[in-house]
C-alpha cells in the first residue's frame, strides 16, 4: 500500500495532483477526505493505492517530504487489523535524516494525532543516509555485538574499513574478527545482532600436586605379626615407621596461568591453579618455601589411602539440602543428618554422614562412613579414595580404592580396590553387580526369586571394561589399515596417470597414516595383553558365602564364570584348573 496527503483549492485539483504523483488513473486510487469537512478550503484528501486486501488491513505508516516551503511529516493510520504506528522506528528514521531546525513539538503533535500532515522543519535539502552500525559491548567486556542499520532509499553501503573504525571508536581495541565482520556486512541482516569481536580468554593455571615418598597402601588397623605369636604394637597398620629427617611429602606448586584481554584491552587475570598444602602433623618439619615435609624425629606417620590427612573438619548440624547447598571442602566433612537428592558433597579428607544419602553424590579423598545407607534411586553415587562403610545401599553405586563394608546391597553397583564385606543382620548382595580386586565376603548372594546378581573378584570391573574398549579400538585400526592397503594398490595402478604432485601428496599421507595406525595398534595390543594377563592370573581372590548363593547368580574369577542354578550354601568359590569351583566356606560368621 502507498499513501499521500494532497491539498488544493478544489477536490478535483487535489485528485489531479494525486494522479500525477502516483502516475495512475483516478480509478486506481482510493480517495478519503482528510480535512475538517468536505466543504473546507483548501481541500485536504488522503490518496491510497494498492490491492483491496492491503488497504483493508494495512499497518500504520509514515512519510517525510521535502517541499519548497518546508519539511513535512505525514502519518497514515492503521486500517482494519493492521499494526499501529512503530513510533520508535519513526524516531530513529527522523534522527538519521539529520533534519536542521527540527520542531520536536510538531512531531509529537502529529504522532499524538496518529494521522495527518504537519510541517516539522524549514525547507532544506534532503539528507540521504547510508548503512550504519550500533555497537553493544557486554557488561563483562568479553563480546561485542553489532547491528547493521538499514540505509535510506539510495543510501550507500557501509564499507568494512568504516565499520571497523566505528567499532574501534566505541572503545573496542582487541579481538575484532575481520572475517566475521565481512560476512556480517555482506549478509544484510538489518537489525539482527552479530558477534564481531571476542576477548582473549585467560589460560588458567595448572593445579599443584603432592608426591608421597612413603607407602600409601590401605591399612587394616590391626597390629602386624612378627612371628612366634607376637605382635608389634608400634607397627599398627594405620601407621608407617619413619626415620629422622626422612622425606615424607613433596609439593609441586600450582602455576599462575596466562592472562587474557577484554575487547576494550583490559587484562583478564587467569584463575591460578588450585594450590595444594602440605598436610599438617605432629613432629614434622616443613622447609621455608613449603615444598617439603620431613620427619622431625623417628616415629610413625598417620595416613589415609591416597592422601596424608591433617585437616580442619567442616561440620553440618543437620541435612545437606537447599539450606546448605553443595559442599566442596578441602578437608573432612561431618554431616549429622542426611544428604538430600540432587546435592553433591566433595571433600579431600574423610566424609562422615549421620543419616542417609538419597539420589546424591559423595566424593571423598579419604574414607566415607554412612551411619544409615544409600537410597540412590539409580542416581546415588559414593566415591572414596579410601574405604566405604555403610549400612545399606539400594539402587546406587559405591566405588572405593580401598574396601567396602556393608550390611546389604540391593540392585546396586559395588566396586572396590580391596575387599567387599557384606556381613551384619542381613549380610546380602541382592541384584546388581559387585566387583573387588580382593575377596568378597557375604552371607547371601541373590535372592530366592533368582534375582540376577553378578559377583567378580581379582580384577576391578573398570579394567575389564578397558579391555573391551581396547578391543574395539584395535578393530577400528585394523579397518583403517585395510583402507590404507587399498590406497596403496590404487596409487600403484595410477602412478603414471596421476599428476605427480597429487600422487606424491597421497603417497606421503598414506605412509604417515600407516605409521600412526601401526603405532596405535602396537600400543593398544601391549596394553590389552597386559590387562588380559592380569585378568588371567588374577585368580587368588575368592568369594566366601557364609549362608546361601541363590540361583540366578554369577561368580566371575579371572576368565572363569560359575552360573549358580541351584542354591549353594556355606561355600567358598575359587579359581582352580581354569574354572571356578567351590567347596566348604573358608570363613566363619565370627571371623
Q: Do 44 and 96 lie in a common domain?
A: yes
Q: Do 430 and 281 lie in a common domain?
A: no
pLDDT attached to residue 128: 93
Q: Which residue has the higher pLDDT, 541 or 212?
A: 541
Residue 361 has pLDDT above 90, yes or no: yes
Rounded distance between C-alpha atoms, residue 181 and residue 159, angstroms: 10
Three cell numbers at 256? Answer: 599462575
b/e per residue, 353-371, with b = 16+ CB within 10 A? bbbbbbbbbbbbbbbbbbe
Three cell numbers at 287? Answer: 622447609
Look up the pTM and report it: 0.42
pLDDT attached to residue 360: 95
pLDDT in tens, 132-168: 999 999 999 999 999 999 998 888 999 999 999 999 9
Contacts of 259 (CB under 8 A, 6+ apart): 202, 267, 268, 269, 270
In a domain, residue 181? The reply is yes
Rounded distance between C-alpha atoms, residue 166 and residue 498, angstroms: 51
Q: Coil, helix or strand for 36? A: coil
In a domain, residue 127? The reply is no
Q: Do 417 and 551 lie in a common domain?
A: yes
Domain end position, chosen among 198, 218, 240: 198
How many Cβ atoms sit within 10 Å of the Cβ of residue 199?
A: 21
Question: Looking up cell 596466562, which residue turns up?
Answer: 258
Q: Do 288 and 184 lie in a common domain?
A: no
Q: Do 188 and 244 lie in a common domain?
A: no
In a domain, residue 591? The reply is no
In a domain, residue 126? The reply is no
The total number of structural domains that make up the chain: 5
- The single-letter DSSP state of residue 339 is B
Domain end position, chosen among 270, 302, 334: 302
Question: Looking up cell 543419616, which residue turns up?
Answer: 355
Q: Do 297 and 403 lie in a common domain?
A: no
pLDDT in tens, 23-78: 999 889 999 888 877 777 888 889 999 888 888 899 999 999 999 999 999 999 99
Q: Do 446 and 501 lie in a common domain?
A: no
Rounded distance between C-alpha atoms, residue 434 and residue 456, angstroms: 6
Q: Do 411 and 550 lie in a common domain?
A: yes
Rg of the chain on CA atoms, in Å: 41
Domain end position, chosen among 269, 302, 335: 302
In a domain, residue 558? The reply is yes
Q: Which domain holds residue 22?
A: 2-121
Rounded distance between C-alpha atoms, residue 423 and residue 114, angstroms: 86
Instruction: Tell me how far apart the terminal alpha carbons of the chain are, to the nearest angstrom.
Output: 96
Q: Do 318 and 295 lie in a common domain?
A: no
In a domain, residue 590? The reply is no
Amino acid at each position: 500500500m502507498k499513501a499521500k496527503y494532497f491539498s488544493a483549492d478544489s477536490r478535483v485539483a487535489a485528485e489531479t495532483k494525486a494522479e500525477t504523483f502516483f502516475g495512475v488513473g483516478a480509478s486506481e486510487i482510493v480517495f478519503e477526505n482528510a480535512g475538517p469537512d468536505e466543504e473546507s478550503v483548501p481541500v485536504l484528501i488522503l490518496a491510497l493505492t494498492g490491492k483491496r486486501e492491503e488497504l483493508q488491513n494495512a499497518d500504520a505508516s509514515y512519510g517525510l517530504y521535502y517541499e519548497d516551503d518546508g519539511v513535512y511529516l505525514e502519518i497514515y493510520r492503521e486500517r482494519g487489523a493492521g499494526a499501529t504506528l512503530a513510533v520508535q522506528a519513526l524516531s530513529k528514521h527522523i534522527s538519521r535524516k539529520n533534519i536542521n531546525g527540527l520542531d520536536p513539538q510538531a512531531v509529537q503533535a502529529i504522532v499524538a494525532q496518529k494521522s495527518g500532515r504537519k510541517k516539522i522543519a524549514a525547507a532544506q535539502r534532503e539528507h540521504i543516509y547510508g548503512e550504519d552500525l550500533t555497537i553493544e559491548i557486554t557488561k563483562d567486556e568479553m563480546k561485542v555485538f553489532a547491528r547493521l542499520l538499514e540505509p535510506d532509499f539510495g543510501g550507500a553501503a557501509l564499507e568494512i574499513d568504516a565499520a571497523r573504525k566505528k567499532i574501534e571508536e566505541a572503545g573496542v581495541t582487541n579481538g575484532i574478527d575481520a572475517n566475521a565482520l565481512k560476512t556480517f556486512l555482506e549478509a544484510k541482516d538489518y537489525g539482527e545482532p552479530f558477534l564481531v569481536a571476542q576477548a582473549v580468554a585467560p589460560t588458567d593455571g595448572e593445579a599443584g600436586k603432592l608426591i608421597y615418598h612413603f607407602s600409601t597402601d590401605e591399612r587394616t588397623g590391626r597390629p602386624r605379626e612378627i612371628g612366634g605369636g607376637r605382635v608389634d604394637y608400634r607397627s599398627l597398620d594405620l601407621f608407617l615407621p619413619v626415620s629422622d629427617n626422612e622425606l615424607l611429602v613433596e609439593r609441586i606448586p600450582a602455576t599462575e596461568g596466562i592472562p587474557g584481554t577484554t575487547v576494550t584491552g583490559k587484562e583478564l587475570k587467569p584463575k591460578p591453579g588450585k594450590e595444594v598444602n602440605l598436610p599438617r602433623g605432629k613432629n614434622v618439619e616443613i622447609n621455608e618455601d613449603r615444598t617439603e615435609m620431613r620427619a622431625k624425629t623417628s616415629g610413625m606417620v598417620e595416613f589415609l589411602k591416597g592422601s596424608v590427612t591433617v585437616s580442619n573438619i567442616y561440620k553440618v548440624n543437620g541435612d545437606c539440602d537447599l539450606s546448605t547447598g553443595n559442599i566442596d571442602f578441602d578437608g573432612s566433612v561431618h554431616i549429622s543428618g542426611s544428604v538430600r537428592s540432587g546435592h553433591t558433597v566433595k571433600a579431600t579428607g574423610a566424609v562422615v554422614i549421620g543419616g542417609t544419602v538419597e539420589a546424591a553424590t559423595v566424593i571423598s579423598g579419604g574414607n566415607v562412613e554412612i551411619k544409615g545407607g544409600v537410597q540412590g534411586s539409580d542416581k546415588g553415587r559414593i566415591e572414596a579414595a579410601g574405604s566405604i562403610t555403610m549400612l545399606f545401599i539400594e539402587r546406587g553405586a559405591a566405588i572405593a580404592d580401598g574396601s567396602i563394608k556393608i550390611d546389604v546391597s540391593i540392585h546396586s553397583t559395588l566396586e572396590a580396590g580391596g575387599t567387599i564385606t557384606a556381613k551384619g543382620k542381613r549380610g546380602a548382595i541382592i541384584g546388581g553387580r559387585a566387583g573387588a580386586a580382593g575377596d568378597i565376603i557375604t552371607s547371601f548372594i541373590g535372592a530366592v526369586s533368582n534375582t540376577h546378581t553378578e559377583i567378580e573378584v581379582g580384577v576391578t570391573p573398570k579394567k575389564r571394561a578397558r579391555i573391551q574398549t581396547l578391543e574395539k579400538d584395535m578393530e577400528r585400526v585394523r579397518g583403517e589399515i585395510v583402507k590404507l592397503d587399498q590406497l596403496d594398490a590404487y596409487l600403484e595402478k595410477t602412478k603414471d596417470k596421476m599428476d605427480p604432485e597429487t600422487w606424491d601428496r597421497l603417497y606421503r599421507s598414506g605412509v604417515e597414516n600407516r605409521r600412526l595406525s601401526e603405532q596405535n595398534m602396537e600400543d593398544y595390543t601391549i596394553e590389552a595383553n597386559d590387562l588380559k594377563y592380569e585378568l588371567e592370573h588374577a585368580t587368588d581372590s575368592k568369594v566366601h558365602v557364609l549362608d546361601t548363593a541363590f540361583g540366578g547368580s554369577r561368580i566371575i574369577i579371572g576368565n572363569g564364570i560359575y552360573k549358580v542354578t541351584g542354591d549353594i550354601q556355606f561355600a567358598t568359590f575359587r579359581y582352580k584348573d581354569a574354572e571356578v569351583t567351590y567347596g566348604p566356606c573358608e570363613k566363619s560368621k565370627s571371623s
